[in-house]
Structure 1
């Protein structure tokens, strides 16, 4: 079973999140029409399509509404344009109070709710969010689907095994029986009676097992804190059209667990909080007051900095003037006397005396030798 990540921030209790895929290329047009109808019917208070630069990779829509009478909900939906098999969307909503699963689903505040709408596909598996998804007949395909489901951190994936072939009453989707806020976060996988072995073989790598005729809620990645597979496995699910109370309870308990934000969730939550553009008149005034206060502080800091700079410049000019005055008051420097030859040392004087004596003796000897030479001649 995947373990929860300790490095990711935990999803705040006020936040609802979902990610899906719109099958087609007209998601923006669908959203514009749906949001206009929802505002006209006063289901939502207001909405905004955030202006985007030409060629931007995504479109952003914001909406605001109230729940429980006075609790304001702000939601931001982003639609990407670069998906080859549809348009992927990410939706985060945050309320002014901890989220109550009985509140309306934020997805219903953006998308149309017709059964054949194209927006309600799970982003990880491509399967429907509001319907039953039979597992494929091929064993390798089953393993691939369940691997993708087990690695998804956005939707809640439930695997239900049919103990026997069901009739029309047993084909009622679980999503419609859940509290409203969970209906667009659930992906229901149905295994045929003969598929129990291959399903449990595919889930073995995640330390999960589906009871015969029962169901299990997959943990996703990262797994919520406190998730234990046995606590979210249901031994029997009666697929006769009646409400599967035990399974609904398991899904509701799972949704209430504290869990890390999924991949991309932290960035989406930051954008919701910091890039919010759909403001009320009161919020606009408050923001303008904040901007005025910020500009006043900046101007005061600049003025103070300018005054300090001017004071420092004046002090520098005064110091320079004082230096010049003191330099002019100094007397003219006298020319330096030429350097005199240093007196000879006593040893040098004695050496020179000996040299003079030696020269005198040599002269005398030469004078004495000259008469003797002339007599011989």
Structure 2
């Protein structure tokens, strides 16, 4: 599969994606199992499973199924990737798919696997560990570090990165993360970068590489990398964000429009979505029966194709045997005399030289002695003829 963003499939409207990193203790597996069991007992989940590790999927897999909006089924798959080297924590990726286009008012799939509390540090950014999904992330004071953080956070990200500029130093309520005011479906997909009042010029200089600019006292959503050809940064900027604890309605509207834009699946998401669809094991009784019927129909079709192939092969073999028998019973044709082989070019050239040699001898003049002797013989013959009595 090509790694080019233009070659990837478009993210379906029914799909919800997120990924991150779990740090600290207890282990990620223990946290997931404990939370899944609790939600199953509380009847929040219909069911969950931990299928055996497949050979072609590294890490550990957890599946969960629940219903929203009075009966819309959501299936989700979380994969814990194996640790690499000496890195801290475990990276995870989560893909959920509903039976109809996703509604941000539905519960966050992240909290169907991870506990929605502050004690468990499962919400670290996968590429930039110092960033967190549910927290305010102040931009670094160093300009070079700021540029690196924004670039790495936006590159191939499954999250939505938004930069908020503080027009003035907010109070304690304004310092709280905006994520708590977002709809559940957006809450764990947004990384909030916060720029201090004096950092406006520095942050806009750092955002030049991404082709966007944050308004004074406003916010801007960072484009995916690479950005779609029709991406317009002005459509994803907010002139004013009031950090007073009120709902940021304009920012929420921009985030919703951004997440519903048709865009290629980020790197690794297509593989995760394929795993959810093709390797799903948490089936209901009706789904299991439907799958078995599909298998029976598939086997019946394969058997019918094999039977047709067998009949065609048998018919072809019978015709071949009939043709062979007819050939054996037919009288042998009379033997034909083999045609004289045509002379080779060398033989033709040799014969031509021989004919030229004979012709040359015939045309060559006789020597003088031979000519005189021949003339004497001719005179004697004529004299003798004269003396002969009549």
Shorter-chain TM band: 0.7 to 0.9
Distance 1:54 1:220, change over 3 A: closer
Q: Deviation at 1:68?
A: 0.5
Q: Deviation at 1:24?
A: 4.4
- Contact kept in structure 1, 2:49 and 2:62, CA below 8 Å: yes
**Who is 2:361 aligned against?**
none
**Who is 1:22 aligned against?**
22
1:136 counterpart (140, 146, 160): 140
**Who is 2:68 aligned against?**
67
Q: Deviation at 1:226?
A: 4.8
Distance 1:165 1:273, change over 3 A: same
**Who is 2:314 aligned against?**
310
Q: Deviation at 1:120?
A: 0.9
Tell me the distance in 2 between the aligned counterparts of 1:228 and 1:177. 26
**Who is 1:110 aligned against?**
113
Pairs aligned (count):
332
- Contact kept in structure 1, 2:50 and 2:63, CA below 8 Å: yes
Tell me the distance in 2 between the aligned counterparts of 1:255 and 1:320. 72
Tell me the distance in 1 between the aligned counterparts of 2:148 and 2:104. 31
Residue 283 (structure 2) pairs with residue 282 (structure 1): no
Distance 1:120 1:316, change over 3 A: same
Q: Deviation at 1:286?
A: 0.9
Unaligned runs of at least 5 residues, structure 2: 338-390
Tell me the distance in 2 between the aligned counterparts of 1:253 and 1:324. 81
Q: Deviation at 1:175?
A: 0.8
Q: Deviation at 1:316?
A: 2.5
- Contact kept in structure 1, 2:76 and 2:96, CA below 8 Å: yes
Q: Deviation at 1:160?
A: 1.1
Give the CA RMSD over aligned residues.
2.6
TM-score w.r.t. the length of structure 1 is 0.81
* 1:290-342 CA distance string (max 9 Å, x none): 11111111112212222222232233333333333335xx69x89x9xxxxxx
Tell me the distance in 2 between the aligned counterparts of 1:301 and 1:31. 47
Tell me the distance in 2 between the aligned counterparts of 1:232 and 1:15. 21
Residue 38 (structure 2) pairs with residue 33 (structure 1): no
- Contact kept in structure 2, 1:153 and 1:222, CA below 8 Å: no
* 1:218-273 CA distance string (max 9 Å, x none): 11224357532222222222222222222222222222322221111222222222
TM-score w.r.t. the length of structure 2 is 0.78
